[in-house]
Amino acid sequence: MHVLAPPVIMASLEDLKEQAGIAACSFVSDGMAIGLGTGSTVRYSIIEIARMIREEGMNIVGVPTSEITRDLATKLEIPLIELDEANTLDLTIDGADEFDSRFDLIKGGGGALTREKIVALASRSMVVVADHTKQVETLGRFDLPVEVHAASLLGVKDAISSICPGEVLLRGGEIAPFITDNGGMILDCSFGPIIANPGHLEQEIREISGVVEVGLFVGICDAVVVASEVGVNTLIKPDGRLNSSGGVKD
């Protein structure tokens, strides 16, 4: 007798992103102060944290990295504090536009890179949620965002153009430029996949007068929860601050 095998139903990438966002919350413990990132994937982590508070009675407070995240967390009734109230955060969960094998990142596609970096640097560890398309051998395929003071825009653009092999474009254009939560503007810099030393490039750009922040996160990320067509996989940085059980190293 010929038996038909049941159809294989592949989860959509969006479903897997949701699973990854939820999986990242395995690093969350009762009593934590958590940096709440910005982006379409980490949104699922924020929704899960709200569920943990509501249904499991967990005592968690959050520090949002953008006004969009603040609005979402407020709607979900996650208790929020300002960063200076917490001083040090236990964990930040955020997204990324690219990550490499050294767990270095490009962030800022959503325009919140400055607050995201401030919050991440104030955290004992950082977990990134991303889909498999964000994993690269060398950073730079995604245009590098740089936040600048509006008054210094032209000078910064010229300075970056002298070291960037591709275009340096004002996000949103001159007629309706994108304005960050800090009142700055974003330059998207097309370096291409050549950023083999992101720490050096970050320092070089940050030395330009008028630069607020660079969307390179070097040595900050400790784990990446990756969604792909085959499922969700958690990558732990071998020399990072998280151990295999998901705890924070002393």
Whether 17 is covered by a domain: the verdict is yes
CATH of residue 109's domain is: 3.40.50.1360
Let me know if residue 248 belongs to a domain.
Answer: no
Digit-coded pLDDT (tens) for 207-248: 999 999 999 999 999 999 999 888 899 999 999 998 644 444
Task: Report CA dihedral (99, 103, 109, 110) to the nearest 10 degrees.
Answer: 130
In tens, the pLDDT along 156-183 reads 999 999 999 999 999 999 999 999 999 9
Burial status of residue 244 (CB atoms within 10 A of its CB: 0-12, 13-18, 19 or more): exposed
Q: What is the per-residue pLDDT for 13?
A: 72
Q: Is residue 137 part of a domain?
A: no
88 and 148, same structural domain?
Answer: no
Q: For the residues 193-209, what does the mean pLDDT come to?
A: 98
Task: Please check whether residues 125 and 150 belong to one and the same domain.
Answer: no
Same domain, 78 and 160: no
The answer as to whether 117 is a domain residue is yes
The verdict on residue 149 lying in a domain is yes
Residue 81 CB contacts under 8 Å (≥ 6 apart), including other chains:
33, 61, 62, 63
In a domain, residue 204? The reply is yes
State how far Cα 195 lies from the chain centre.
18
Report the number of distinct structural domains present in the chain.
Answer: 2
Band (pLDDT 50/70/90 cuts) for residue 206 is very high
Claim to verify: residue 110 and residue 225 sit in the same structural domain: yes
What percentage of the chain's residues is helix, strand, coil (to nearest 5)? Answer: 30, 25, 45
Helices 13-23/42-56 angle, 10° precision: 50
- Pair (84, 22) in one structural domain: yes
Q: Identify whether residues 89 and 153 lie together within a single domain.
A: no
Containing H/E element for 200? helix 198-206
Q: Are residues 28 and 115 in the same domain?
A: yes
Q: Is residue 94 in a domain? A: yes
Per residue in 132-149, pLDDT (tens digit) is 999 999 999 999 999 999
The reply to whether 161 falls in a domain is yes
- CATH number of the domain enclosing 175: 3.30.70.260
Respond yes or no: is residue 18 known to be catalytic: no
* 24-79 pLDDT, tens digit each: 999 999 999 999 999 888 999 999 999 999 999 999 999 999 999 999 999 999 99
Using 50, 70 and 90 to split pLDDT, how confident is the model at 11?
low
Q: Are residues 176 and 104 in the same domain?
A: no
**Helix (H, G, I), strand (E, B), or coil: what is residue 196?**
coil
Among 18, 48, 116, 202, the one annotated catalytic: 116
Spatial contact of 27 and 127, defined as CB atoms under 8 Å apart: yes
Do residues 111 and 223 share a domain? yes
Residue 166's contacts (CB-CB under 8 Å, 6 or more residues apart) are: 143, 189, 190, 191, 192
Residue 176 shares a structural domain with residue 100? no
Q: Are residues 93 and 45 in the same domain?
A: yes
The pLDDT-based confidence of 118 (bands split at 50, 70, 90) is very high
Domain span at 113: 13-131+218-229
Q: What is d(CA 150, CA 158) in angstroms, rounded to the nearest whole number?
A: 14
Please say whether the beta carbons of 185 and 179 come within 8 A. yes
* 119 and 155 inside one domain: no
